[in-house]
């Protein structure tokens, strides 16, 4: 087997495997190294996203939402359900099957694109620019020589001080995806994407869920109007959300006891069967042996890169969660493609201003660009237009009229500055806003485009019309 490559990619998560495929498409000899394994020791490329993140969480969200609809919404459609029950074991089997399909799909793409895959851990073993030595530690010990190295090693869940994950009582994202039966009481520390999504899954299946958030505002990074609507809806659904709390001692024995101070300063105690800790993620640079070659990290532990994802080492690049910027799978993919193209002498493009964000709760929350509070802080003069799904015919037919679409546009030029959605299929609707912003569109451009009727996308058109105070269906 050849051991000399134009590009060696360390990590086969969204950033890594996409970078490898794009580099191979551009005519380079490419290897990709990844250590994720299935329970029986086989390769499981795809990183956190595929194995214990984006993909399995969406599988569980879909299963729990189906159960919730059968329990509460089917009767409205004339569908009678008797003896409804949830088989958590079968739900987890389906989730595992979805993950396996994605693992196998990536391996197939490697084969199709002639990317050489190494199952193991990759680390620097020396070398210099244009001739880096990469040690693979796995079932076989290989040393690869690479003209270029792309580091795409992702991130790990952040633990609370002195409270390690055991994934039995104290759960990270992987543990939250593998709970064998619905807990009676579930605690979640951190009201971010992972916490809310996993809390939603188990709440729908019957758990009593309490979410503790240290920040004073709920979903502080989200547009305030959207965040307020989300908190109201989630509370109505049964999520007990407390903000401004200070977590103290946590004791894990047969169950978990969390001592904390609430927003009013009063001491409180929460006793739960399981505790999900979702307080962020940290870059994964462990085992890279970067010190041996002088790889520079920034003050927060991320690999230091410039705007083109170049590290301080010539012909060494880094993408995804292990570098600055939003920790999102699709951001990693875009960086992976851009780096492969830069290596090939082309112009890679990534615009952080048009990276969409999504929280896959029900209702979904999605946004791109600036929030209203950001525009106010920056002194930008803008106009706002909103349209509720309550006035959308397709949403009424779906039986899901929660939420709204909100457009923010420059007061003088009408250029779209941000779009914020809470409601059905927000994750799909936001793509129209991303395209519009990438092409520098005005709100009027969306308002003048014919949208199919009846469709949820009409709410986008109506919100754009609302920027100019000329909504038609409200």
Q: Which residues are catalytic?
A: 453
Q: Which of 377, 442, 439 is nearest to 408 (CA)?
A: 442
What's the 3-state SS for the chain?
Answer: CCCEEEEEEECCCHHHHHHHHHHHHCCCCEEEEECCECCCCCECCCHHHHHHCHHHHHHHHHHHHHHHHHHHCHHHHCCCCCCCCCCHHHHHHHHHHHHHHHHHHHHHHHHHCCCEEEEEEEEEEEEECCEEEEEEEECCCEEEEEEEEEECCCEEECCECCECCCCCCEECHHHHCCCCCCCCEEEEECCCHHHHHHHHHHHHCCCEEEEECCCCCCCCCCCHHHHHHHHHHHHHHCCEEECCCEEEEEEECCCEEEEEECCCCCEEEEEECEEEECCCEEECCCCCCHHHHCCCECCCCCECCCCCCECCCCCEEECHHHCCCCCCHHHHHHHHHHHHHHHCCCCCCCCHHHCCEEECCCCEEEEEECCHHHHHHHCCCEEEEEEEHHHCHHHHHHCCCCCEEEEEEECCCCEEEEEEEEECCHHHHHHHHHHHHHCCCEHHHHHHCCCCCCCCCHHHHHHHHHHCCCCCCC
The residues facing 269 across adjacent strands are: 259
Are 189 and 173 within 8 A, CB to CB? Answer: no
Q: How far apart are CA 158 and CA 161, in angstroms?
A: 9
d(C-alpha 129, C-alpha 152), whole Å = 18
Task: List Cα–Cα distances, 74 to 65, 89, 200, 360, in angstroms.
Answer: 12, 23, 19, 22
Q: State the Rg of the chain over Cα.
A: 24
Closest Cα partner for 105 from 197, 14, 178, 235? Answer: 14
Beta strands 404-410; 416-423: pairing state: antiparallel
CA distance 85 to 355: 39
């Amino acid at each position: 087997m050849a051991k000399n490559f134009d590009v060696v990619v360390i990590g086969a998560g969204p950033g890594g495997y996409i970078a490898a495929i794009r580099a191979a498409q551009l005519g380079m000899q490419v290897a990709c190294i990844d250590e994720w394994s299935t329970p029986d020791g086989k390769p499981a490329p795809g990183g956190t996203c595929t194995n214990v993140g984006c993909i399995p969480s969406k599988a569980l969200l879909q299963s729990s939402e189906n159960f919730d609809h059968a329990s509460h919404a089917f009767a409205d459609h004339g569908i009678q359900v008797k003896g409804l029950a949830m088989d958590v074991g079968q739900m987890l089997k389906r989730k595992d099957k979805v993950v396996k399909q994605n693992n196998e799909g990536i391996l197939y793409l490697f084969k199709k694109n002639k990317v050489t895959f190494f199952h193991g851990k990759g680390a620097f073993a020396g070398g210099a620019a244009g001739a880096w030595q990469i040690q693979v530690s796995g079932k076989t010990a290989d040393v690869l020589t690479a003209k270029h190295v792309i580091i795409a090693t992702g991130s790990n869940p952040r633990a609370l001080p002195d409270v390690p994950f055991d994934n039995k009582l104290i759960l990270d994202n992987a543990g939250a995806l593998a709970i064998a039966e619905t807990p009676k009481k579930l605690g979640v520390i951190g009201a971010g994407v992972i916490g809310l999504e996993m809390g939603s899954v188990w709440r729908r299946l019957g758990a009593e869920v309490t979410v503790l958030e240290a920040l004073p505002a709920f979903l502080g990074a989200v547009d305030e109007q959207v965040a307020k609507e989300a908190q109201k809806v989630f509370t109505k659904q049964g999520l007990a959300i407390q903000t401004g709390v200070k977590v103290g001692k946590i004791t894990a024995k047969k169950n978990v006891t969390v001592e904390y101070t609430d927003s009013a300063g009063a001491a409180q105690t929460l006793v739960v069967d399981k505790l999900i800790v979702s307080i962020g993620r940290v870059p994964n640079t462990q085992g890279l042996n970067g010190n041996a070659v002088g790889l520079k990290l920034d003050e927060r532990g991320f690999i230091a890169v410039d705007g083109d994802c170049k590290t301080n080492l010539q012909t060494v690049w880094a993408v995804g969660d292990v570098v600055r910027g939003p920790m999102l799978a699709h951001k990693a993919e875009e960086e992976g493609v851009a780096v492969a193209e830069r290596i090939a002498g082309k112009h890679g493009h990534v615009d952080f201003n048009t990276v969409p964000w999504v929280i896959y709760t029900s209702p979904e929350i999605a946004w791109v660009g600036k929030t209203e509070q950001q525009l106010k802080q920056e002194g930008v003069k803008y106009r706002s237009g909103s349209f509720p799904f309550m006035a959308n015919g397709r949403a009424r037919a779906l039986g899901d009229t929660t939420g709204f679409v909100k457009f923010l546009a420059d007061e003088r030029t009408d250029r779209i500055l941000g779009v914020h959605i809470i409601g059905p299929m927000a994750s799909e609707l936001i793509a129209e806003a991303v395209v519009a912003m990438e092409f520098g569109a005005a709100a009027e451009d969306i308002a003048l485009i014919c949208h199919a009727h009846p469709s949820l996308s009409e709410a986008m058109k109506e919100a754009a019309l609302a920027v100019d105070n000329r909504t038609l269906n409200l």
